[in-house]
Amino acid sequence: MENKKDDFSEWYNEIIDLARLSDKRYNIKGMNVWLPYGLKMMHLIDDIIREYSEEKNIQEVSFPVLISRERLEVEFEHVKGFENEIYWVTHGGKDKLDIDLALRPTSESAMYTMFPLWIRSHSDLPFKIFQIVSVYRYETKHTRSFIRVREIHFYEAHTAHVDYEDAENQMREYLNIWEKVASDLCMDYSLDIRPDWDKFPGAKYSVAFDTPMPGFRSLQVGTIHEYGENFARDYNIKYEDEKGTLKYVNQTTFGLSERLLAAIIGIHGDDKGLVLPYKIAPVQVIIVPIAGENYDNILNYSREIMGEIKKFGVRADVDERDYTPGYKFNDWEMRGVPLRFEIGNRELNENTVTLSFRTQKKKIKIKREELSKIYDYLNTVNDDIKNKAKAFFEDNLVMETSFENLGTEKMVKAYWCGSRECSDKIENRFEKAALGRVYNNSDSGKCIVCGKGGKLSVFSRTY
């Protein structure tokens, strides 16, 4: 396998092939086949997001994939960019359809035409739903697995509120959800308020979750948007308040995608392959029986051990394939399994297992009764992953105070006045885009370009 540091892009493509996460040989560019291991990882990420969303009373729904042109066009006012990225269904069988139907690029226009049927009174608010679906973009740019594809695995939450203040509470609640998701994925991130010219069209403001990736580009892995009344006015979404007055709702959205998987692969992986936080590892513990005189007994013992840790809800498997232990070790390390148990004659006789951590070189021997501490061992791996990710994050998001130093390959924090003129100068010279002001940060200093008053902001090359 490629060395990760030398050529991240090559390494990234290669590990996706080797670990059999997705297959891009399907004959439509940017539409890949999800293979079992990759799909399982994505589903485990979905489960995490689903759990934390439902905890906050955001309920799961599923809308049709097709949206009629007339409904989508309401949004074109805002969403000019989308128009050129939409797949259009024009025929049913041999008939030309009366009206063109779009494959959803996102679901505002699908959902918000239903909202007036569901939201009548203040007692219907707050109204909170999400869905996990595929969305479609007719991308003309270079595609890349999980990062830029034409069929995107997507989580989108949509809420409606009595007023702007309650919508703002929701924005903070999204960040609570995101914090928990990011912690489970062992990820660090920067919360950046996108510049007005780069916010979601129709939003009052957008906050993006940006993370530096190897290869010196930042990846936007998620966003939350405050819509205020903008969409409510377009789609006529009103409620009756306690005094009987009709008012527009205030709305927000929260989006996450398969880019989370790209981030996990890219940030945590090493020269041996994937390194997976245990919550999204399809196999959390792989048990490798080591051939010896009593192989039948070793195998039985291995299966017993598997049964015991499965009782704790751990995803475990015994690798009974006809390969050498060395081959199996490498194979499961490449696939990122957090813990490996090695079981040979000695372990059988001692009633122990030899435990190896994906993130450490040392092995330890544990007694059978210590299996009840399995989540401690899994958390050891998670802690290692977090520490390494944190170091990488801090190393790759650096504070700069002089214009020339923006030439670093890394993602940069700097004070910025907020003007397009200054950010254009940065972009033209260093190919770094303004990701925006850091959210919830009031530090101020001289703009790194013009020297006027500025706020702490982030700049980076992006995917």
Across-strand partners of 460? 433
Tell me how far, at minimum, the Cβ of 284 lies from a second copy, in Å. 16
Question: 104 or 199, CB closer to a second copy?
Answer: 104
Choose among 234, 231, 237: nearest CA to 117: 237
Q: Can you say whether the dihedral through the CA atoms of 11, 13, 17, 22 is positive or negative?
A: positive
Question: 34 or 393, CB closer to a second copy?
Answer: 34
Tell me how far, at minimum, the Cβ of 248 lies from a second copy, in Å. 21
Question: 71 or 368, CB closer to a second copy?
Answer: 71
Question: 150 or 386, CB closer to a second copy?
Answer: 150
**Does 201 sit behind a cis peptide bond, omega within 30 degrees of 0 on the bond before it?**
no
Question: 131 or 230, CB closer to a second copy?
Answer: 131
339-343 sheet: strands from edge to edge: 316-318, 285-289, 339-343, 352-357, 363-367
Tell me how far, at minimum, the Cβ of 306 lies from a second copy, in Å. 16
- Token digits for 3? 């060395």
Tell me how far, at minimum, the Cβ of 95 lies from a second copy, in Å. 8
CA distance 177 to 201: 24
Contacts of 423 (CB under 8 A, 6+ apart): 195, 416, 433, 434, 449, 459
Across-strand partners of 398? 412
Tell me how far, at minimum, the Cβ of 173 lies from a second copy, in Å. 18
Question: 372 or 444, CB closer to a second copy?
Answer: 372
User: What is the SS3 assignment for 455?
Assistant: strand
Q: Residues in the site for a second copy, rule: CB under 8 A?
A: 23, 25-28, 31-36, 39-40, 59-66, 68, 71, 83-94, 100-101, 103, 110, 113-114, 117, 129, 134, 138, 151
Choose among 450, 446, 460, 451: nearest CA to 413: 460
Tell me how far, at minimum, the Cβ of 136 lies from a second copy, in Å. 8
Q: Can you say whether the dihedral through the CA atoms of 55, 255, 385, 188 is positive or negative?
A: negative
Tell me how far, at minimum, the Cβ of 47 lies from a second copy, in Å. 11
Tell me how far, at minimum, the Cβ of 301 lies from a second copy, in Å. 24
Q: How far is CA 98 from CA 69, 73, 91, 273, in A?
A: 10, 16, 9, 51
Choose among 10, 5, 2, 280: nearest CA to 144: 10
Bridge-based pairing state of the strands 339-343 and 285-289: parallel
User: What is the SS3 assignment for 305?
Assistant: helix
Choose among 388, 347, 283, 375: nearest CA to 41: 283
CA distance 437 to 455: 7
Question: 71 or 180, CB closer to a second copy?
Answer: 71
Question: 150 or 413, CB closer to a second copy?
Answer: 150
Question: 290 or 316, CB closer to a second copy?
Answer: 316
Question: Are the beta carbons of 69 and 100 closer than 8 angstroms?
Answer: yes
Question: 27 or 428, CB closer to a second copy?
Answer: 27
